Amino acid sequence: MKITTANQITGNELGLVTGSYVASKVFYKDILASVRNFFGLEITEYTKMLDEARKKAIERMEKNAEEIGADAIINVRITTAQTTQGAAEILAYGTGVKE
């Protein structure tokens, strides 16, 4: 499936497609993160967690696009929001298109 941030490609727009994933922190990783944060280092535990969450959200968006008959997704955006203390939602969304 073609996925792009471009605003248009040749084809018929089918509608909004989305994929969402909520990632939460793990207690023992918080301890390592606190140490890294104290020393001004990258918090790799959270980087990996958010990278995996982003991949899952994109996979779910692709699945949603396939369900409506799209073979491409244009104008893709990814956003995040804190849902509760220690958890964040990653949302991937775009427009499903049939080329």
The DSSP-derived string for the chain is -EE---S--SSEEEEEEEEEEEEE--HHHHHHHHHHHHTT---HHHHHHHHHHHHHHHHHHHHHHHHTT-SEEEEEEEEEEEEETTEEEEEEEEEEEE-
Domain residues for 59? 2-98
Q: Which two tokens stand for residue 36?
A: 């890294």
What mean pLDDT is predicted for residues 81-94? 89
- Per-residue pLDDT reduced to its tens digit, 25-61: 766 666 776 777 777 877 787 888 889 999 999 999 9
Q: Distance between CA atoms of 24 and 4, rounded to whole angstroms? A: 28
Model pTM score: 0.81
Q: Based on the structure, what is the number of domains in the chain? A: 1
- Per-residue pLDDT reduced to its tens digit, 65-74: 999 999 999 9
CATH number of the domain that residue 48 is part of? 3.30.110.70
